[in-house]
């Protein structure tokens, strides 16, 4: 189950501080419009994934973090979005 999710405004998506590449296609991934954070693992071994989706809702990449704060920090750095901007189920 998703821990939380965020919609990335178009201006922030187009001005992302990180570039993600699909090496199998030899091209840059599309602009990210949605990120879903998922809590994974068992008690004591939790980790968090950030799943990136394009404008059409198609998944294109995933990042994993051992700490919740690190996952939030990545999105704050990449898109200048704050922890308070996230939506929770």
- DSSP code of residue 43: T
Residue 71 in tokens = 């996952």
Domain boundaries, the chain: 2-82
Collapsing DSSP states into helix, strand and coil, what is residue 64?
Answer: strand
Q: What is the pLDDT of residues 22-58, one digit of tens each?
A: 888 888 899 999 999 999 988 888 999 999 999 999 9
Q: 45 near 4, Cβ under 8 Å?
A: no
Instruction: Label residue 1 by pLDDT band (50, 70, 90).
Output: low
This prediction has a pTM of: 0.89
Task: Return all residues near 4 (Cβ < 8 A) that are at least 6 apart.
Answer: 36, 37, 86, 87, 88, 89
Task: Return all residues near 15 (Cβ < 8 A) that are at least 6 apart.
Answer: none
């Amino acid at each position: 189950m998703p821990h939380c999710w965020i919609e990335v405004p178009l201006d922030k998506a187009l001005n992302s501080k990180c570039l993600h590449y699909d090496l199998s296609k030899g091209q840059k991934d599309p602009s990210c419009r949605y990120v879903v954070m998922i809590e994974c693992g068992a008690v004591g071994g939790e980790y968090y994934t950030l799943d990136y989706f394009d404008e059409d809702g198609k998944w294109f990449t995933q990042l994993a973090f051992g700490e919740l704060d690190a996952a939030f920090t990545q999105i704050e750095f990449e898109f200048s979005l704050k922890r308070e901007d996230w939506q929770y189920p």
